[in-house]
Structure 1
Amino acid sequence: MRGKEKIKGMFSSMQTMVIGTGTTKKRTKQTTYWYAEEQDNGVLKVQPINDNFVPSGPKMAVEMEMFLDSYNPEPELYAEKVLPQMLELNKTISLGESHRQKGEGYSAENEFTKAINIDSLSVRANFGLGLTYLDRGEISRADDIFRRLVCINATYEKKHKHLFNDFGISLRKNGMHSQALEYYRKAENFNVEDENLCLNIARVFYEMGKLKECLEYLKKSLHLNKDLEEACIFLDFLYGKDFVKEHTIENIKKNRINKFATAK
């Protein structure tokens, strides 16, 4: 029996392919390399390894019995190629994030670009580059990154939720409301129980002039956290603008539970 240590590392699988037709038809074997990691819940996920020896692209769940039968360990390649490249990629992205936090936009761009050259599907690197462009007010280049991120949708994971949120805030502040809303909605798919995310979506809808949708998400935010100060301030603001009926806001302030605002 396999011990308690979880599976993690580089593996290969062999696939037989038929090429050609008629008398030229022949069978050939193709080797594919994967990064495999067993999750805490016992599910085993594999991810393709690209030409730069880093895991890249969407992850797939594989049944343990099938994995043990069809995937072969490659410990030497993992130690000599994959692990060093993974560490280098993470180091490059972290350096880019550090430069960006310090306001060193061009140094950040350089590091994020190097990371994308290693792994074009890296969510962190693409988000970092997009945020760097937004920091510099380069809307057109940021929109290019936005389009790229849409295309690599399959690689998103729950851990990327905060990146969606950060990117959405920057998009909204730069007047890119439709893009911000799309990204917030993607983040919402990862975690529907997030009061701050609902509040941010409400803000986007308000700035887009969509009051009904704004109030809907403000309700959700207060339902998830009846004491969220920013949501209460936003609600007071809407009341001051005569967008919320008086009896409704009083109900929310008194009960902070399931009774919510209705649009006039």
Structure 2
Amino acid sequence: MTASKASIDREKIKGIFSSQTVQKIGTGTTVRRTISKMYWQAEELESGDIQIQALNTNYIPSGPKSTVTKEEFLSKYSPEPEFYVSTVYPKIKELNSTIQRGEKARQAGATYSAEFEFQQAVGVDEDNVKANFGLGLTYMERGENHKANDIFERLVKLDAAFEPEHKHLFNEFGINLRKTGMQDQAIDYYSKALEMTSRDENLHYNMARAYYEKGELSNCIDHLEKALEINTEHAEAKKFLEYAKKMQESQPAS
């Protein structure tokens, strides 16, 4: 087998790993060394670098992700397959079950049961995207916009909320912000999304709707035109643009 073939066949690094740091406590004759151990979820990227994410105190991968070189990773991190099987996997499975119960309750209109389940999930992993989306949608469905706004402020700080795997929840959340009259929040929300992917005609279309409902026709028209630059066949954007321009023409000159 050639070296290139071996490199293709080699499984990529993925799993739970640990790192250790040695700290000195005290001074002089009272100094002592303590070893601090941290657990990480790691995954090898196409570039060959390793993406790592720390486990929180509940042993759930949470918070920001960072990247280290493979050389650094292999020298500082040790595999923990038994710890994954005995501790991490059951915790993740339990968290996912809690979120699923919350989603079922919300879809059934049982908003207080949904809130309980999503709160439980957020208590285990405060950065969990699905749990935060579910909690925010639950509050909006109950008309508790002040609580929904707290969740909105948390979500716009989480880059993971705007990743493709969460597209369905992301869209539903943005639409509900607008429908519940939270136009400024909807605009901030879609603006954050556009920072991450500007070539999305539906984001521009949704932004246009939020601006229209705020009465800002020029911004509405601007985003509709951007949507049509990306997708000239966007039927709703075409109709909306025609209507918005007529509305703008009918307005008295300032």
TM-score scaled by structure 1?
0.83
- 2:239 matched to which residue of 1? 233
Structure 1 residue 132 and structure 2 residue 130: aligned? no
User: Aligned match of 2:163 in 139, 158, 163?
Assistant: 158
Which stretches in structure 1 are left out of the alignment for 5+ residues? 245-263
CA distance in 2: counterparts of 1:143 and 1:213, whole angstroms: 23
User: CA offsets, 1:110-145, max 9 Å, x none?
Assistant: 221111121111111011100111011111211222
Residue 256 (structure 1) aligns with:
none
Match of 1:72 in 2: 78
The match for 2:96 is: 90
Matched, 1:103 2:109: yes
Equivalent position to 1:224, from 222, 230, 244: 230
Structure 1 distance, partners of 2:144, 2:238, is 34
Which of 95, 116, 126 is the aligned partner of 1:120? 126
Matches of 2:190 and 2:168, distance apart in 1: 10
For residues 36 and 217 of structure 1, do their structure 2 counterparts lie closer, same or farther at Cα, with a shift above 3 Å needed? same
Which has the larger displacement, 134-143 or 1-10? 1-10
Distance 1:242 1:61, change over 3 A: same
| Structure 1 residues 157 and 6: CA distance shift in structure 2, 3 A | farther
Deviation by residue 1:189-208 (Cα, 9 ceiling, x = unmatched): 22211111110011111222
Identity %: 49
Aligned partner of 1:6 among 12, 29, 34 = 12
User: Within 2, Cα distance between the matches of 1:240 and 1:154?
Assistant: 38
Structure 1 CA distance for aligned equivalents of residues 52 and 162 of structure 2: 14
Which residue, out of 185, 208, 216, partners 1:210?
A: 216
Supply the RMSD in Å over aligned alpha carbons. Answer: 2.4
- Asked if the contact 2:16/2:81 (under 8 Å) is kept, the reply is yes
Counterpart CA distance in 2 for 1:118 and 1:156 is 17
Give the TM-score, by structure 2 length. Answer: 0.86
Q: Give the AA of the match of 1:31.
A: K
Mapped pair 1:169 → 2:175: yes
CA contact (8 A) 1:10 1:33 kept: yes
Indicate the residue corresponding to 1:261 in structure 2: none
Q: Distance in 2 between matches of 1:157 and 1:235?
A: 26
SS in 2 for 1:193: coil
Q: Does 1:192 align with 2:198?
A: yes
Query: What amino acid is the match of 1:70?
Result: K
Q: Write the deviation string for residues 165-211 of structure 1: whole angstroms up to 9, x where unpaired.
A: 32221111111111111111121122211111110011111222222
What CA deviation, in whole Å up to 9, does each residue of 1:43-92 have, x standing for no partner? 42111111211111111112111111110011111001001111221222
- 194-203 vs 22-31, greater mean Cα deviation: 22-31
- Counterpart of 1:106, as a letter, is Y
Matches of 1:147 and 1:81 in 2, distance apart?
31
Using a 3 Å threshold, how does the CA distance of structure 1 residues 240 and 5 change in structure 2: closer, same or farther? same
- Corresponding residue for 1:259? none
Are 1:158 and 1:191, in contact at CA under 8 Å, matched by a contact in 2?
A: no
